[in-house]
Chain A
């Protein structure tokens, strides 16, 4: 069966520090992968998506970057965090959009 792992669950980082959030998918090949950010109780903002290894598309200009070093691994990074980077980060995968997304359990990032 397919599963998605996302870690860490919570993270408190000082302003200016680096960030690395990791997401891995099991049980499927060549998934489409997505990073979303969610403000409290609100909808999801697409940050990055990837349709294959090394293929990254950015949706909004920001202080973040993403990489896909392996087929089922998706990493969200920052060199220097800003206060505005705080939020709930969600990784998701699908093979076709109308199949629906499977989301990870999310990472609550607080930049202090």
Chain B
């Protein structure tokens, strides 16, 4: 069974600080995605990484896919209160069903 473990589960920081969220597995994924979810809403896709070692940047967010395609990280520079939310990583197990395996999420609170 493929599993994705996210750490930390909870993170409370001050505005302007940097942070990194990790998503780890013992399994290889053909792609890995990051989503952000606000309370009472569905998750929204931030990025998809597909190549081992790939780095993508989205404004102050930097996403990296591990060389072996078993792990990923999300780094936020100079966090802002608007970054507050639940961050979810999800891996594509490469079946033709399109099923994604989700991590348990990281709840981020950025205090002004």
Contact = CB atoms under 8 A, between A and B. Distances in A.
Interface of A: 6, 32, 34, 36, 41-44, 46, 49, 51, 57, 90, 92, 94-106, 108
A85 B6 CA distance: 25
Interface residues of B, number: 29
A42 B92 contact: no
Contacts of B100: 46, 97, 101
Contacts of A6: 42
Given A43-B104, A106-B42, A108-B40, A51 B96 contact: yes
B39 to A, nearest CB: 9
Given A90-B42, A106-B41, A51 B88 contact: no
A51 B97 CA distance: 6
Contacts of A32: 97-98
Contacts of A96: 98
A36 B37 CA distance: 14
A105 B99 contact: no
A100 B48 contact: yes
B42 A103 contact: yes
Given A44-B43, A97-B93, 13 more contacts: A43-B103, A44-B90, A46-B99, A46-B100, A49-B97, A57-B97, A92-B42, A94-B98, A95-B98, A96-B98, A98-B31, A100-B45, A104-B42
A65 B30 CA distance: 30
A13 B35 CA distance: 30
A85 B45 CA distance: 26
Nearest to A44: B102
B11 interface: no
Nearest to B39: A41
B68 interface: no
B42 A105 contact: yes
Contact of B92 (A34, A98, A105): A98
B44 interface: yes
Contacts of B44: 103
